[in-house]
Structure 1
Amino acid sequence: MWQRIKTFFARVQTMSVKAMWMMIQKIHAESHVSRLFILCDMVWCAVHYGVGYLEYRVFGWVYIRGKKRKTFMTMQDNLRVCRLANDKAYLPLFEDKLQFNEKFREFVHRDFLDLRKASFEEFQAFCQSHPVIFVKETDGFGGVGARKLSASDYQAEPSCRALYQELKDNRLFVVEECVVQCEKMNLLCPASINTLRMVTVLAGGKPYLMYTLVRMGNGTKAVDNISSGGMYAPVDENGVIFKPAFCDKTGELYEIHPFTKTKLVGFQIPFYAQAVEMVFEAAQRVPQVGYVGWDVAMAEDGPLLIEGNTMPGYDMPQNYYHLRDEKAGILSRFQEVLGERLEAN
C-alpha cells in the first residue's frame, strides 16, 4: 500500500488537471456515468491500485468493478517484472539499437551501418548498395525522428556528403537497409512496416509468450508507432486478429482499416508460427534480460526482428475493447509463469 501511495503522489506532481478533466469528460460521454462518480473512482483507483487516469480509461474501469480490477497488471506490477527479470548491466544491448543489431544480427536480416564509426566513403557505398534507407536515433522511442529516405536522390558526392553530415549532426546514427514487407502485411497498410509486438518472459530458462499485438500505420506515415498516430489490435495464439483495431489519437475502433479498407477482424498474420519460434530463440540469447517486447516485421521470406524493448507496455494488451468475454487483465498470466518469484519481488 505504501508503494501505491508514493506512486499516487508522484503522479499528482506530474499530472495535468486539465487533461484529467478532459479525460473524465470523454469517459462520461462514452459511458453516461456521472462525472463526479468518475472523478471519485479515479482518485480511489489511483490510491488503491496505483492506476492513473489514462490507464483508467484504457482499462475501461468505469465498467469494471471489484475483484476484476485485481486481475489487471499495473505500472507497479510491470516495474516489478522488469526488476525481477532484467539485469540492468545488460540493458544497453537492447537500448542501443546498433548494439541490438549486432547481438541479434542473425534475426535482423538486413544490412546496417553505425554512423558513429562509419566514414563518408562507407556511407556513400551503403547508399549506392541500398536505394532506400531508414535512419533513426540509437535510443529513439515511438518512431520520433525516424526517416525513410530514397538514397538514390543522394548519389552525387556533394548531396551524399551533405546528407552524411546532416544525419551525424542530428544524431541519426542508425542507418539501415529498408525492410521490404510481404504483400500480405501490405494489405493492412502499405505506407508503413506493420509490426507485431510479441512479449516474452524467460522463466527457468524457458521462454513464454505473454501476448501479441499487431501495430499498423494510419496510411499517412512510414511508421506504425501508436504515438505517431498508428493503431493496434490483439492477435490470438494462432496469429489471427480477434478484435477491432484501436487508435489512441482518435479514440476510435476500426473493424476495417480507414485507409486500405482491409477487414481487420479475422485477418491471418503470415508466418506467425515462425515468428513465435524466432522470438523464443532470441529470448534465450541474453538470459539476463528475460522480459522483452520484440518488434517483429514480416518480409517476403519470413519474420525478422526490428528491435527489442526491455520495458514492454502493460496498457495496450489490457485495452477494455480488446478484452475477452471475462473482461480480465493479464496479471494472472504473469503470476502463472513467474509464480512466487513475482510475489516475492
Structure 2
Amino acid sequence: MISLFSKFESEGVLGINRRIGEFILPNNPREFYPLVDDKWKTAELTRQFHVPMPKHYGLIDTFGGIQKTNVLVKDHPGFVVKPANGGMGNGILVISNTETLDTGKVLYHKSDGRVLQEKELNHHISGILSGLYSLDGNSDTCILQERLECHPFFQEISFRGIPDIRVIVYLGYPVMAMLRLPTKESGGRANLHQGALGVGVNLTDGTLTHSVCNDKLIDVHPDTKQTLRGRVIPHWNQILEMSSRCFDMSGLGYLGVDIVLDENRGPLLLEMNARPGLGIQIANRMGLLGRLQLVEKIKNSADGPKDRVHRILQEL
C-alpha cells in the first residue's frame, strides 16, 4: 500500500522540512531577514526601489512615545496599528474612524464594529512595545499606517477588512498565488490561521479557482454567500511584476509577497515573508515542487521582473 506521505510526494506537495532544507536555507541569507521581518525597514527599502506601499504615519518605539499617538494620526481618522516585527496578523488593529466627544474623550471605532477608548488603544500599543506580538518575543516598535480603501472587486466576496494576495516567488519568478479573504470568524482579517478564506489563483491570468476555509474545501464565501470561482483579479500582471521585483529588493530567493488592492492606488506591497507557509498548496489543490523545479530549468540571471514574469507564464 502506498503511504500518504508517498502520495503527497508523488503529487509534488512540498513539506516543511524540504521547504526549509532545499529552498529557504540555501537561498535566503540570514543577514537579509531583518529587511522583511521589520516592516519599518521594509518601507524604507520600498522607497529606494520605487515599490508602492501603504503610507506610514509614524513610529512609536518608547512607552513615553505612546502619548504621541493622537498627534501622529491627527489628520487621519482611519488608520492601522501594527507591530513592526509581528507575524500572522497578530497585534494588528484596524481603526475605521476616530470620534471625539463633546467632553474631549476620544473613541476609536474598529473595522469589526467594536469601540476602543483611548486608554485601551494605548494599552494595546504598550503590548506591542513589550514584544507581545513580535516574532522573536523581544521588545518591538509600533507602526501607525494608512488605512486602505477596499477595491470594488472585493465588494461582494469579502467580509469587512482588506483582502490580500499572497504570491510565492522563487529566484525572482512568481510560482503560485492565492487570495486571502476576511470572514466574520477571522474578525475582518485576511489571516488563514484566524479563519479567513484561501482562494487559489490561476497564475497565468488571475482567475480564482478553488477555495478553502479551516482546511475544508468550500464553494461560496461563508458570510457573503457569493460564488468565488471564475472571478478575475484586476491588475494581475502588475501584481506579478511587483512580486518579482521583491526578489531584487530583498535579496531573498524564496519568499512570500503580500499585496493589497486599494481602490485609488491599485496594487500596494503590504509585506514580505522569508518563511511563507504551505497552505497555498491546499488553496490551489496543487503542489509547489513542480513549479519550483520549473524555475530551476528556465531561470536566467539576466532577466528583470517583466522578463521573469513573461518567461514563467510562457511555461505554464
TM over 0.5: yes
Counterpart residue identity of residue 338, structure 1: E
Task: Give the stretch that moved more between structures: 139-148 or 209-218.
Answer: 139-148
- Aligned partners of 1:257, 1:135: CA distance in 2, in Å? 27
Task: Encode CA deviations 1:126-169: one digit per residue, 9 max, x unaligned.
Answer: 32211111112222222222211245236847878746742442
- Aligned partners of 1:332, 1:158: CA distance in 2, in Å? 54
* Counterparts of residues 216-227 of structure 1 (less than 5 Å): 216-220=181-185, 221-227=187-193
Partner of 2:163: 194
Are the equivalent residues in 2 in contact too, given 1:128–1:151 (CA < 8 A)? no
**Post-superposition shift, 1:256?**
1.6
- Aligned partners of 1:154, 1:94: CA distance in 2, in Å? 36
Partner of 2:123: 166
Aligned partner (choices 261, 285, 290) of residue 298 of structure 1: 261
Q: Which has the higher helix share?
A: 1
Partner of 2:32: 90
- Aligned partners of 2:43, 2:13: CA distance in 1, in Å? 33
Aligned partner (choices 89, 101, 110) of residue 43 of structure 2: 101
**Post-superposition shift, 1:335?**
1.9
Are the equivalent residues in 2 in contact too, given 1:201–1:290 (CA < 8 A)? yes
Partner of 2:314: none
Are the equivalent residues in 2 in contact too, given 1:188–1:216 (CA < 8 A)? yes
Taking a change above 3 Å as real, the CA distance of residues 318 and 119 of structure 1, as seen in their structure-2 partners, is closer
1:73 correspondence with 2:14: yes
Aligned partner (choices 68, 73, 80) of residue 127 of structure 1: 73
Task: Give the stretch that moved more between structures: 118-127 or 255-264.
Answer: 118-127
* Counterparts of residues 1-345 of structure 1 (less than 5 Å): 41=3, 45=5, 61=7, 68-69=10-11, 71-79=12-20, 80-105=22-47, 106-116=51-61, 119=65, 122-150=68-96, 152-153=98-99, 156=104, 162=119, 165-171=122-128, 173-202=142-171, 207-220=172-185, 221-236=187-202, 237-243=204-210, 245-248=211-214, 251-287=215-251, 289-300=252-263, 301-314=265-278, 316-319=279-282, 322-323=284-285, 329-338=287-296
Task: Encode CA deviations 1:34-57: one digit per residue, 9 max, x unaligned.
Answer: xxx9xx946xx4xxx7xxxxxxxx
- Aligned partners of 2:174, 2:298: CA distance in 1, in Å? 19
Partner SS for 2:17: helix
- Aligned partners of 2:281, 2:67: CA distance in 1, in Å? 48
Are the equivalent residues in 2 in contact too, given 1:123–1:164 (CA < 8 A)? no
Taking a change above 3 Å as real, the CA distance of residues 157 and 235 of structure 1, as seen in their structure-2 partners, is same
Task: Encode CA deviations 1:278-317: one digit per residue, 9 max, x unaligned.
Answer: 1222321122x12110111001131001110001123x23
- Aligned partners of 1:119, 1:98: CA distance in 2, in Å? 17
Partner SS for 2:74: helix
Q: Which runs of 5+ in 1 are unaligned?
A: 1-36, 50-60
Counterpart residue identity of residue 166, structure 1: H
What is the TM-score with the length of structure 2 in the denominator?
Answer: 0.75
Counterpart residue identity of residue 107, structure 1: P
Partner SS for 1:171: helix
Counterpart residue identity of residue 135, structure 1: V
**Post-superposition shift, 1:120?**
5.5
Task: Give the stretch that moved more between structures: 122-131 or 90-99.
Answer: 122-131
Are the equivalent residues in 2 in contact too, given 1:192–1:222 (CA < 8 A)? yes
Counterpart residue identity of residue 17, structure 2: Q
Are the equivalent residues in 2 in contact too, given 1:154–1:163 (CA < 8 A)? no
Counterpart residue identity of residue 85, structure 1: N
- Aligned partners of 2:19, 2:196: CA distance in 1, in Å? 23
RMSD of aligned residue pairs (Cα, Å): 2.9
Partner SS for 1:191: coil
Task: Encode CA deviations 1:88-143: one digit per residue, 9 max, x unaligned.
Answer: 01101111122222222442132332111694575323322111111122222222
Task: Give the stretch that moved more between structures: 183-192 or 289-298.
Answer: 183-192
Q: Which has the higher strand share?
A: 2
Counterpart residue identity of residue 87, structure 2: F
What is the TM-score with the length of structure 1 in the denominator?
Answer: 0.69
- Greater CA radius of gyration, 1 or 2? 1
Taking a change above 3 Å as real, the CA distance of residues 187 and 110 of structure 1, as seen in their structure-2 partners, is farther
Identity %: 22
Are the equivalent residues in 2 in contact too, given 1:215–1:231 (CA < 8 A)? yes
Task: Encode CA deviations 1:214-245: one digit per residue, 9 max, x unaligned.
Answer: 111113512110011111011012000122x1
Counterpart residue identity of residue 115, structure 1: I
- Aligned partners of 1:216, 1:158: CA distance in 2, in Å? 31
Partner of 1:6: none
Are the equivalent residues in 1 in contact too, given 2:98–2:106 (CA < 8 A)? no
- Aligned partners of 1:102, 1:304: CA distance in 2, in Å? 14
Partner of 2:134: none
- Aligned partners of 2:53, 2:281: CA distance in 1, in Å? 29
